[in-house]
Structure 1
């Protein structure tokens, strides 16, 4: 079974900055929220963020902890991945 088959029915979101040309990623939140604190922060035990290519929605998805995804987004916003000429 492909990972995308197990992620059917999730509520996928695109960036509000997406141009509609399917050249972005989509994200979905997976798992139940709990009140138990974890290394990912309070109330987030068992949660994962699924990320997939909007051009290949039936393809694979990567799974991240909420803390790892938030760190990645923060680093992108800070310009840490900009190409240097």
Structure 2
């Protein structure tokens, strides 16, 4: 679990595709190289925090369509 003080003042970002709809994941890049991920419909739930390496691997898979079968 990440301390609340680490998340204070971070900038949360979401995909432009979700601008017109509710429910999306938001990410924040933490100063220590980690990435926080949260569901903007459930802000009471603590963010999931991963290392920069894990984030890069996930993004690589997403860009290559490895998760396109979902939905």
- Same fold judged by TM-score > 0.5? yes
The CA distance in 2 between the partners of 1:9 and 1:20, in whole Å, is 25
Rg larger in 1 or in 2? 1
Unaligned ranges ≥5, structure 2: none
Looking at secondary structure, tell me which structure has more helix per residue. 2
Q: TM-score, normalised by structure 1?
A: 0.65
Unaligned ranges ≥5, structure 1: 32-45
TM-aligned CA deviation for residue 79 of structure 1: 1.1
Higher relative contact order (CA 8 A, sep 6+): 1
Count of aligned positions: 68
Matches within 5 A, 1:3-82: 6=4, 7-31=7-31, 46-82=32-68
